[in-house]
Each structure stands twice: as structure tokens, then as C-alpha cells.
């Protein structure tokens, strides 16, 4: 059985920048998504084809969901790119992470072999980056929606001790959100990867199938949870008084 | 200790930043190539569908209006036709009466004319008969005279004398 590493392993270096196996799969996922994007863009017509219909169905579904959370179609359309990209990117990365070859294709590195590809979300840099982006962007959108001072006033409030204390708690909750978002995704995907590695090493045929389906499900659910938490956060930060 | 934890978890600020940059690039690409064009297409299609439905509704309303108008016009035309028929019938009756009167007058005129002609012809015939009778009498007298005028004169004288005696 291969060695299970908590951190992504370095494959090679480009000018002092180390490219890890998870970054490598992240780039592959990006290439896949960009290819799909270009393919869809080239085939966009008023009467949709199969691919466009599928994309439109996804967009409509997500927009409806966002509409019900944000309470306005206009707001849903405004914040749609961020939520959709978070969901699609994490889901694609998670699904690519259970593709055959990920974890089993090995690359020579020094005296030992390391996996050529590793699920992006099984690297804390990936999940942490997404969590930080989610929290920072939601706060920026909050500032844009309710005003800079009104938004900062939620965290730093000297009106009375209770408001001040609540503000401090809000500030802590934002930091905690980064940790919870990043570690939830990392934990689920990493655990799945470890589980699959163990199962594959114990019984390589048929038995891992249910676990693969479970990982497909977990991969999609985790992407959905991440996107939904970001959406709810946007909804809370951009809500003006009376909404 | 913090550094050891970060090292153990594999957190690397360069990788962290590269993942962020990667995400924003992908966000831009997907927004530009997929979300905006597709949302625009969906909006256009929805607008067209909405417009089509509105037009269909409008057409339905107009159709019903046209139907009502046509029904009203048919009703009006029926009423007008009934009125025209009635007026025509009245006119026909009036005309019939006028024509009948004219015919009667004409008949009377013709009868009068025929009567007049008849009388005229009768008169002419009478005249002709008289003329012919005169001629005949004249011829008869001439014939008679030519046969024995003295005897006739004598007979006539005798007849005249007897009549004078009787008177």
C-alpha cells in the first residue's frame, strides 16, 4: 500500500515554484472546464442543442435555488457567477479525484514514487483558498450592498457593550467560517481518498464500487454545501434593514 | 509550533495564491464564455415566449372582438335585409297599385277609343251605305225612267191625287 500523505506532494518545480500533484489536477480540472466553456460558447443558439440544454437546465436550476434564498431574481443573477463557479469547480475537482489513475498513476520523485494526480480538495491549499475567497468576496459584496461603514459596523460596534460583544463574535465567526469551510471539504475528500486507497489495496475488484458511488455522492454534496454556505453568507451580508 | 502545524498540513502560501488565481481566472472565463451568454439567451427566449404568449392572448381577444363584430354585422345585415325586403314589398305593392290603375285607365282609354272607332266606322259604313243606296236609287230611277217614264209619272200622279183625296 502506498504511503498516505496529509499534504500534496511536489511533482516538479518551475522557477522555484513547486507544482504539486493536487495543483496538477486542479489545472487539469480548469482545462476541462475551460474547454467545456469554449465548446458551449461556440454552440450557443436560440434553439439549444443537447449540451446547451444541459447547461441551461443547470443554470436555471441554480438560479431558482438562489432566487429562493436571496429573495430576488436580480440578486440571484448578480451573484450567480461566484456561486456557480464555486460549485462547478469543486464538483469537477472532486469527480476528477475519483477518476481511474488518480492516486494510482505514480511518478518518480527522488528515491520514492509519489502519485501523479491527487484530488485538489485533498490539499488544504485548495480548500483554504476557496474558503478565503468565499469569506472575503461575501464581505466585499456585503460592503457594496449595504455600504462600507454599515458593513464594518456589524463587526465593530461601540454603541453598547452587547453590540460590541456581538460584533466581536461576528468577527470570530468569519474566521471560523474559513476554518470550517476549508477543513470540512478537505476532511471529507481526504477521508474519501484514504478510504478508497485502503479498499483498493485490500480488495481491488467489485468491493470498491459502492465506495466509489459514495465518493461521487460526497463530492457533489460537498461542492453543493460549500456553494450554499457561501450563498447564505452573501444573503446575510447583502440583506438591508427590513429584508 | 505554528510553523510545524502549517508545514504538517502542507499549507504553502505560493500554492494558496496560485489556487486563488486559478479560481479567479476560471471565474472570469466561465462568466465570459458561459454564464453571461447563456443567461442572455435564456432571457431572450423567455422574453420571446412571454411576447408570444401576450400576442397569442391579444390575438385571441382580437379574434373574439372580430367574431363579435362579424356577428353584430350579420345581425345588422339581417335586420337591414328584412327592412329592405319590407320596403321593397311595400314599394312593389304601391307600384302594383299604380300599374293596376294605369292599366285600368289604359283599358278605359282603349275601350273608349275602340268605341269611338266603332262609332266612327259605323258612321262611315252608314255613310257609305247611304251613299251606295242613293246611287242605287238613282240608278234604279234612271233605269225606271229609261223603261217608261210616262207610266210612272201617271202612276205617281194618280197616287198623289188619291192621297190628296184621302186627306
Domain ranges in chain B are 2-166
State the pLDDT at residue A229.
95
| Highest mean pLDDT pick, A146-160, B9-23, B61-75, B115-129 | B61-75
Q: Taking residues A220-230, what's their average pLDDT?
A: 95
Whether B15 contacts A123, CB under 8 Å: yes
Q: Is-contact A118 A104, C-beta < 8 A?
A: no
pLDDT at position A2, please?
Answer: 62
- Going by the DSSP 8-state scheme, the letter that residue A216 receives in this structure is H
Q: B93-116: per-residue pLDDT in tens?
A: 999 999 999 999 999 999 998 999
User: Given CB atoms, is A128 within the 8 Å cutoff of chain B?
Assistant: yes
Residue A131: band (very low, low, confident or very high) from pLDDT cuts 50, 70, 90: very high
Among the listed residues A158, A156, A178, the one whose alpha carbon sits nearest the alpha carbon of residue A167: A156
**For A3-7, A210-214, A220-224, B95-99, which range has the lowest pLDDT when averaged over its residues?**
A3-7
The two beta strands, A17-20 and A10-14, are antiparallel
pLDDT at B130: 84
Closest-CA residue of B relative to A187 is: B9
> In chain A, positions 54-113, which contact chain B (CB-CB < 8 Å)?
55-56, 59-60, 63, 77, 80-82, 84-85, 88-89
Q: Which residues of B touch A53 (CB under 8 A)?
A: none
CA A165 to chain centre: 31
SS3 A43: coil
Nearest to A192 by CA among A88, A95, A116, A90: A95
Least confident of B2-16, B17-31, B44-58, B149-163: B149-163
Contact A7 B9 (CB under 8 A): yes
**DSSP letter, residue B11:** -
What are the φ/ψ torsions at residue A132 (nearest 5 degrees)? Answer: -65, -45
CB contact under 8 A, A84 and B9: no
**Set of cell numbers at residue B71:** 356577428
Give the pLDDT of residue A11: 83
pLDDT top residue among A127 and A242: A127
Q: Cα–Cα distance between B25 and A37 in angstroms, integer?
A: 13
In this structure, are residues B123 and B130 in contact, taking their beta carbons and an 8 Å threshold?
no
- Does pLDDT of A242 surpass 70? no
What is the pLDDT, as a whole number, of residue A8?
Answer: 84
Q: Which residues of A touch B23 (CB under 8 A)?
A: 85, 89, 129-130, 133
Q: Name residues 131-150 of chain A within 8 A of B (Cβ).
A: 132-133
Nearest to A8 among B10, B17, B20 (CB): B10
Residue by residue, what is the 3-state secondary structure of B117-143?
HHHHHHHHHHHHHHHHHHHHHHHHHHH
E strands in A94-205: 106-109, 112-115
Whether the predicted pLDDT of A122 surpasses 50: yes
Cross-strand pairs, A67: none
Indicate which of B4, B5, B9, B15 best probes the interface with A, i.e. most A CBs within 10 Å of its own CB. Answer: B15
Rg (CA), chain B: 65
Residues from chain B that touch A85, judged by Cβ atoms under 8 A, are 23, 26-27, 30-31
**C-alpha cell read off for B96:** 302594383
Distance in Å from the first CA to the final CA of chain A: 55
A7 vs A108: CA distance, rounded Å: 17
What's residue A83's pLDDT? Answer: 95
Is-above-0.90 flag for pTM? no
Q: End-to-end distance of chain B based on CA atoms, in angstroms?
A: 201
pLDDT score, position B149: 64
pLDDT at B141 over 80: no
Secondary structure (3-state) at A188: helix
Q: What are the chain A neighbours of B33 within 8 Å (beta carbons)?
A: 34, 37-38, 40-41
Kindly tell me if the per-residue pLDDT of A156 is higher than 50: yes
Q: Shortest CB distance from B33 goes to which of A37, A46, A132?
A: A37
From the list A63, A73, A225, A69, the residue with the least C-alpha distance to A134 is A225
Min Cα separation A166/chain B (Å): 28
Element (H, E) at B13: helix B13-30
Cell numbers of A127, please?
480548500
- Which of the given ranges, A157-161, A227-231, B34-38, B147-151, has the highest pLDDT on average? A227-231
Average the pLDDT over each of B36-40, B65-69, B148-152 and give the range with the smallest value. Answer: B148-152
Contacts of A7 in chain B (CB under 8 A): 8-10
Q: Do A41 and B34 touch (CB under 8 A)?
A: yes
Residue A220 in contact with residue A97, Cβ under 8 Å?
A: no
Query: Nearest CA of chain A to the CA of B43: how many Å?
Result: 10
Give the mean model confidence (pLDDT) for residues B43-49: 90
Q: Chain B residues with CB-CB distance to A under 8 A?
A: 8-12, 14-20, 22-27, 29-31, 33-35, 37-39, 41-42, 44-45, 48
Per-residue pLDDT, averaged over A176-180, amounts to 95
Flag if A26 and B33 touch (Cβ within 8 Å).
no
Give phi and psi for A11, each to the nearest 5.
-90, -50
Mean pLDDT of A172-196: 93
Span A28-42, pLDDT tens digits: 999 999 999 999 888
Q: Which residue of A has its CA nearest to B10?
A: A7
Q: Which of A204-208, B105-109, B163-167 has the lowest mean pLDDT?
A: B163-167
A84 or A240: which carries more pLDDT confidence? A84
Pairing of strands A106-109, A17-20: unpaired
User: Can you tell me the distance from the alpha carbon of A33 to that of A201, in angstroms, rounded to the nearest whole number?
Assistant: 31
Inspect the interface and report whether the beta carbons of B12 and A81 lie closer than 8 Å.
no
pLDDT at B11: 85
Which pLDDT score is estimated for A37? 92
Residues of chain B found within 8 Å of residue A26, distances taken between Cβ atoms = 19, 22
Question: How confident is residue A104, by pLDDT bands cut at 50, 70 and 90?
Answer: confident
pLDDT of residue A243: 45
Amino acid at each position: 500500500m502506498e504511503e498516505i500523505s496529509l499534504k500534496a506532494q511536489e511533482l516538479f518545480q518551475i522557477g522555484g515554484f513547486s507544482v504539486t500533484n493536487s495543483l496538477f489536477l486542479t489545472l487539469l480540472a480548469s482545462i476541462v472546464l475551460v474547454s467545456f466553456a469554449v465548446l458551449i460558447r461556440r454552440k450557443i443558439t436560440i434553439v439549444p442543442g443537447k449540451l446547451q440544454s444541459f447547461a441551461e437546465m443547470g443554470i436555471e436550476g441554480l438560479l431558482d435555488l438562489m432566487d429562493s434564498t436571496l429573495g430576488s431574481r436580480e440578486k440571484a443573477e448578480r451573484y450567480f457567477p461566484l456561486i456557480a463557479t464555486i460549485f462547478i469547480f469543486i464538483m469537477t475537482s472532486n469527480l476528477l479525484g475519483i477518476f481511474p489513475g488518480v492516486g494510482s498513476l505514480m511518478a518518480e520523485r527522488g528515491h520514492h514514487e509519489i502519485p501523479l494526480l491527487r484530488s485538489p480538495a485533498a490539499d488544504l491549499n485548495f480548500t483554504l483558498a476557496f474558503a478565503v475567497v468565499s469569506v472575503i468576496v461575501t464581505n466585499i459584496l456585503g460592503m457594496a450592498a449595504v455600504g462600507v461603514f454599515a458593513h464594518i459596523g456589524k463587526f465593530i460596534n461601540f454603541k453598547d457593550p452587547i453590540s460590541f460583544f456581538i460584533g466581536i463574535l461576528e468577527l470570530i465567526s468569519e474566521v471560523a467560517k474559513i476554518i470550517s469551510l476549508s477543513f470540512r471539504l478537505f476532511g471529507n475528500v481526504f477521508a474519501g481518498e484514504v478510504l478508497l486507497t485502503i479498499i483498493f489495496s485490500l480488495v481491488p475488484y467489485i468491493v470498491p464500487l459502492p465506495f466509489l458511488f459514495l465518493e461521487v455522492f460526497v463530492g457533489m454534496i460537498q461542492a453543493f454545501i460549500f456553494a450554499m454556505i457561501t450563498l447564505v453568507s452573501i444573503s446575510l451580508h447583502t440583506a438591508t434593514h427590513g429584508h | 509550533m505554528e510553523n510545524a502545524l502549517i508545514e504538517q498540513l502542507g499549507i504553502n502560501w505560493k500554492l494558496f495564491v496560485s489556487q486563488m488565481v486559478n479560481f479567479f481566472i476560471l471565474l472570469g472565463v466561465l462568466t465570459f464564455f458561459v454564464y453571461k451568454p447563456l443567461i442572455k439567451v435564456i432571457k431572450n427566449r423567455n422574453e420571446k415566449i412571454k411576447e408570444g404568449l401576450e400576442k397569442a392572448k391579444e390575438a385571441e381577444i382580437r379574434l373574439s372582438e372580430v367574431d363579435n363584430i362579424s356577428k353584430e354585422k350579420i345581425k345588422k345585415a339581417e335586420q337591414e335585409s328584412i327592412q329592405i325586403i319590407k320596403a321593397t314589398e311595400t314599394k312593389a305593392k304601391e307600384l302594383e297599385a299604380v300599374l293596376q290603375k294605369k292599366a285600368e285607365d289604359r283599358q278605359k282609354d282603349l275601350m273608349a277609343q275602340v268605341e269611338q272607332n266603332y262609332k266612327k266606322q259605323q258612321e262611315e259604313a252608314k255613310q257609305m251605305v247611304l251613299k251606295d243606296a242613293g246611287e242605287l236609287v238613282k240608278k234604279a230611277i234612271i233605269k225606271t225612267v229609261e223603261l217608261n217614264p210616262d207610266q210612272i209619272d201617271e202612276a205617281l200622279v194618280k197616287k198623289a191625287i188619291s192621297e190628296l183625296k184621302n186627306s
